[in-house]
Structures are given as C-alpha cells and as structure tokens.
Amino acid sequence: MPFLNGISGALPIFQQDNATPHVSTVTLNWFAEKNIVTMKFPPCSPDLNPIENLWAELSRMIYSANRSFTSREELMGAIKHACTEIGRNKKDYLLNLHQSVLRRCIDILERRGGETKY
C-alpha cells in the first residue's frame, strides 16, 4: 500500500462490500495487521457500492453490438480499451460515481436500509 505512505493525518477508511472473500479470516487479519479501518457495510448492497455501476458501464462498452470474443487476448484487449476510454472520455462519469458515495449512504440511512434509486 505504498500509495498511502504520503498521506498525512488520519488514514482513509477502506470501503468493501463484505463479499465472502473480503471478510475471510486471512483478509480481516491482513487489514488488522496493516491498521486499516474498514467501513461498516451491509453485505450484498449494490445500492451503496458505485463500483457496480462502473462494472455495468464497462460491460456495455466491451460487449456493445452483441460483440463476442474468440480468445482471451482479444477479450483482454477490449477490456483495456474500454478502461482507457472511460479514463479519457468519461471523467465526469467517474467523478459523479465518486461523489455519489455520500448521497448513497445518506439515502440508505434515510430509508432505514430499504431500496434506493441507485
């Protein structure tokens, strides 16, 4: 986690969705050893996790026009291309996803865990 070395003040809180691999004993011990604080997060909560929106956008881009792939290399090329396109041409989309985290958390709290528009 070298990218955190330059951060001064309180360390960020790590968000993860409590999927089974993320809450395994090995993973939780690793977080504890690294003094990483994790956000209290209900399991299987796509409403709170904007990465699900990003995965959906990537999938739409990769498989547009019912595209299929004949090799792993061809698929990897399409994934890399889609990621590059999002980074170059969809910065507002990424910023909106990032900024939506607080709105999502507030919305889910106001709805007492009920369904949201996300």
Q: Which residue has the tokens 């019912």?
A: 66
Residue type, 20: T
Q: Which residue has the tokens 């993973």?
A: 27
Helix (H, G, I), strand (E, B) or coil at 62: helix
> How confident is the model over 13-66, as pLDDT tens digits?
887 777 788 889 999 998 899 888 887 776 666 667 788 889 899 999 999 989
Domain locations along the chain = 1-44, 45-118
Q: Would you say the pTM of this structure is higher than 0.85?
A: no
Residue 15: which residues within 8 A CB-CB, separation 6 or more?
Answer: 38, 39, 41, 49, 101
Task: Determine the straight-line distance between the first and last CA of the chain, rounded to whole angstroms.
Answer: 30
> How confident is the model over 70-101, as pLDDT tens digits?
999 999 999 999 999 998 888 898 888 888 88
